[in-house]
Amino acid sequence: MAVHNYDVVVIGTGPAGESAAINAAKHGKRVAIVDKQVQVGGNCTHWGTIPSKALRHQVKQIMAFNTNRMFRDIGEPRWFSFPKVMERSRGTIDKQVEMRTTFYARNRIDLYHGVARFKDEHTIVVRDRQEGMEELVAKKIVIATGSRPYRPADINFRHPRIYCSDTILSLSHTPRTLVIFGAGVIGCEYASIFSGLGVKVDLINNRDSLLSFLDDEISDALSYHLRKHGVLIRHNEDYASVEGNESGVVVHLKSGKKIRADAFLWANGRTGNTDSLGLENIGLEANGRGQLSVDEQYRTALPHVYAAGDVIGWPSLASAAYDQGLNSCNELLDKDYRFVSNVPTGIYTIPEISSFGLNERELTEAKVPYEVGKAFFKDTARAQITGDIVGMLKILFHQDTLEILGIHCFGDQASEILHIGQAIMQQEGDANTVKYFINTTFNYPTMAEAYRVAAQNGLNRVF
């Protein structure tokens, strides 16, 4: 068995692992990175963020074509199968893999493909698909193995009509009806994607509202537009059993209801990828969801072993994972670091949602005197030009100091629009004020102009 010595070994090539490895390499460390897949990119590139968002973009284009009056001169509305749309989306995955593979070569990072397992506190054994093994000895180790869909034992995921959010990407047909259990971010995103393809969707939510961490007005808007596209939302429901047969799936709910559909998608919860790491060999233990606990320097109970990304839990976002990996590596390099806590929310439903800061419910509970400024996209020239008139921008600010306390956006390009407000909110002292949007000239016509409209709307209420 070959033995290799490194300054840093990173396990996982998703956003957290990639940023940690490249950061270490750029600071003169000898680095190796390990991934169990034959291609780099981790779950983000192959199963999660990239394929689902590429798929969403294709569906959004189809919806735009089918609803644009100008295209009626060309012909009738067109419908596309799920496999056809997914095939088109795979081009993005290939480009991501090629680009990220180049990153490792350019930074002279040794790449190992295989399952990594701790032999001791400084030694990792990598077993490849041909049962070949190599030992990597490292001074510092970063665990960035990501997560996978949680699969309850009482549901038969081997059945050809029962899927999780990973296996749904290999769906070989377009179901006429689909039941999605779990109305979190992933469930809502897939509900909007499949309804955009003309699939009748039942969305089962075990809570009393959609995405309750959002501003109530934004959550209500999401519910309205999902229903408008044919999604039937069932709140406060839980499953009793899921039965698959040759013709479809029957979902039995604890309330006594039965729902039949062509296919079933489980989208409720995720589990950290720690079960194959051999954590027992180094005295570490994951929690019940397979996640590792870390301190504010991303160190586990072993000071030379770090963890970042989905494997440590909240917020389980690719954007946060990249920053977590970067900062975990900064700490082990004895450089300035930060604990990633202020993270914008990006939800890629159709239309999409993004937010940063506090919502109205939180401010009211905290007894903070705030005011609201709104801009509806239907009233902006750019949205009228593009036809993307659904949505709004909402600014929450302090009544007395005019400090911006929260930005909430629903509509096309919401996750892009939000960054302007986020940048102002991150400024210190008097630089964070809603007056910035009044005193700054925005290009016209643009979606960013909504900030000026919302600021004027809110300031009109201040006395």
Residue positions in the annotated binding site? 35-44
Length of the chain: 463
The Cα–Cα gap between 103 and 109 comes to: 9
Residue 5's φ and ψ, nearest 5 degrees, are -110, 135
Tokens matching residue 152: 């309850």
The Cα–Cα gap between 338 and 6 comes to: 25
Nearest by Cα to 145 from 15, 340, 323, 52: 15
Annotated binding site for FAD: which residue ranges? 35-44
Residue 236's Cβ-count burial label (10 Å; 0-12, 13-18, 19+) is: exposed
Residues 351/391, Cβ–Cβ less than 8 Å: yes
Tokens matching residue 286: 């994951």
Residues 193/350, Cβ–Cβ less than 8 Å: yes
Per DSSP, what are the bridge partners of residue 124? 118, 136
Residues 447/377, Cβ–Cβ less than 8 Å: yes
Q: Strands 200-204, 232-234: parallel, antiparallel or unpaired by DSSP?
A: parallel
Residues 121/302, Cβ–Cβ less than 8 Å: yes
The Cα–Cα gap between 92 and 57 comes to: 11
Residue 372's Cβ-count burial label (10 Å; 0-12, 13-18, 19+) is: middle
